Amino acid sequence: MSTIFLDTSALAKRYVAEVGSGWLKAQIEPTAGNISIIAELAIVEMFSLLARKQREGHLALNDLLILQNNFLLHAKANILLFSWIAQSRCRLVSWLRNIHCGHSMRFN
């Protein structure tokens, strides 16, 4: 079991086909047994990213709405949310630094 902190660009790979999407999906599916964590701000950033994809013509409006809904359902059911980052920034940075030491992300 691993703990995975997802920034918005990594999180987007679950909803938009990009290089590394398959690997990421395998890591964050509940059956993988990993813990996924996002910052509270990632919710707003994810909606913004999906809306931009729709404006640029990469997503139909209906697909945008489906992806936004799926994201919220997935986040509620399977992702821990850091809503206390402002109060605990030093602790968070230290914790993430310790997790990251010696680990690299590979999308092969």
Q: Which one is predicted more confidently, 87 or 60?
A: 60
| Amino acid found at 3 | T
Backbone angle region of 3, left / alpha / beta, with phi > 0 → left and psi within -120 to 50 → alpha: beta
For residue 83, the model assigns a pLDDT of: 56
> Is the confidence at residue 96, as pLDDT, over 90?
no
* Beta-carbon contacts of residue 63 (< 8 Å; ≥ 6 apart): 54
Least confident residue range of 28-32, 72-76, 90-94: 90-94
Domains of the chain: 3-100 (3.40.50.1010)
Give the chain's mean pLDDT: 80
Residue listed under structure tokens 């359902």: 73
Q: Across 12-16, 40-44, 78-82, which has the greatest mean pLDDT?
A: 12-16
